[in-house]
C-alpha cells in the first residue's frame, strides 16, 4: 500500500474535508506572500471531540525541482474536550491559519489535512513568481 491509495481529493466547494489554499496567483521574486490554509471554508467541517480536523500541512514544490519542501504544519489541538466530558470544554480551535513565505521561483503549493474520522485530504494550486 502507498500513500496515494489513502489520500483523498476533491473540490473544496463541494467537499468539507479538502484543504483550501488562498494565495495570490503571482508574486515578485522573494516577495513576502501570505498564504491562508483552511478546511471547511464553503461547507463547515464539524469541530467536536468526536469529529475534527487535527492538522493541515503546507508544502511548496518548485517547478525546477523534484522534491517538495514543507513550509508549515498547523496543529489544532482543542476540540471541546474536558474533564466534564466530550464537547464540554471551554475551547475549540478552528482549522485555519496563515503562513508567510518567500519563493525564488514558480511552483506548486500543496496542502494536506487530516480528519480524525475521514483521513487524509489534499489540494494544490500554482504560484507564479515573476
State pLDDT tens for residues 88-129: 999 999 999 999 999 999 999 999 999 999 999 999 999 999
Distance CA 10, CA 29 (A): 30
Element (H, E) at 33: strand 33-39
State pLDDT tens for residues 47-89: 999 999 999 999 999 999 999 999 999 999 999 999 999 999 9
List the catalytic residue out of 13, 29, 51, 128.
51
52 assigned to active site = no
Give, in words, the CATH class of 3-129.
mainly beta
Distance CA 58, CA 109 (A): 7
15 assigned to active site = yes
List the catalytic residue out of 16, 41, 52, 79.
16
36 assigned to active site = no
Where are the domains positioned within the chain?
3-129
Report pTM: 0.94
List the catalytic residue out of 41, 79, 115, 122.
115
How would you label 57-87 residue by residue, b for 16+ Cβ within 10 Å and e otherwise?
A: bbbbebeeeeebeebbebebeebbbeeeeee
Amino acid at each position: 500500500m502507498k500513500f496515494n491509495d489513502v489520500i483523498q481529493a476533491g473540490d473544496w466547494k463541494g467537499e468539507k474535508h479538502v484543504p483550501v489554499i488562498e494565495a495570490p496567483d503571482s508574486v515578485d521574486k522573494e516577495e513576502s506572500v501570505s498564504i491562508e490554509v483552511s478546511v471547511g471554508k464553503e461547507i463547515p467541517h464539524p469541530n467536536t471531540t468526536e469529529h475534527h480536523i487535527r492538522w493541515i500541512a503546507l508544502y511548496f514544490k518548485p517547478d525546477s525541482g523534484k522534491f517538495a519542501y514543507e513550509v508549515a504544519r498547523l496543529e489544532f489541538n482543542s476540540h471541546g474536550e474536558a474533564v466534564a466530558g466530550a464537547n464540554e470544554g471551554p475551547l475549540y480551535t478552528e482549522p485555519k491559519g496563515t503562513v508567510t513565505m518567500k519563493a525564488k521561483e514558480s511552483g506548486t503549493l500543496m496542502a494536506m489535512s487530516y480528519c480524525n474520522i475521514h483521513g487524509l485530504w489534499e489540494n494544490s494550486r500554482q504560484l507564479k513568481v515573476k
